[in-house]
Structure 1
Amino acid sequence: MRGVHKQWRRDLLAKVAILDLPIFVVWEDRDRILPARHLDAARTAFPKARTHLFPATGHMPQIERAESFAERALNFWA
């Protein structure tokens, strides 16, 4: 029940991968909506992407870890 339909996820990852853009993927180890195991699929699809797994964080790191999230996002955009 949790997560994203596998075919939809595969299609989305494939479409984004062909864009060849810088990618920053964040995930959370306590996300009950999109489990952290989905990060492995993103890492496989985007081997050059920068990734970060927020510890002790649920589905909204931009709220739960606002300062750390903002710092990482600004660092990536720089």
Structure 2
Amino acid sequence: MIWIDDLLGYGKSDEGLLALLKKMLMTCADKGLKPNPKKCSFYLREGLWCDRLISGEGVRHDPCESPLFQICRLR
């Protein structure tokens, strides 16, 4: 996965990721967007967004944010 600011992209291979990265950066440049380097991550296996884990396997809830875990954390 590639995460550029609030944009998320996924590729199935290294070549696919590089092509996607180029396309994402060119689109940002065309639209006058300047991504914040501190908010960019590359070659991720999964990422956390809005209490959901996103990966090549799909989207699932973050188990650390489940109500049961919250109760355990308070004790």
Establish whether TM, by shorter chain, passes 0.5: no
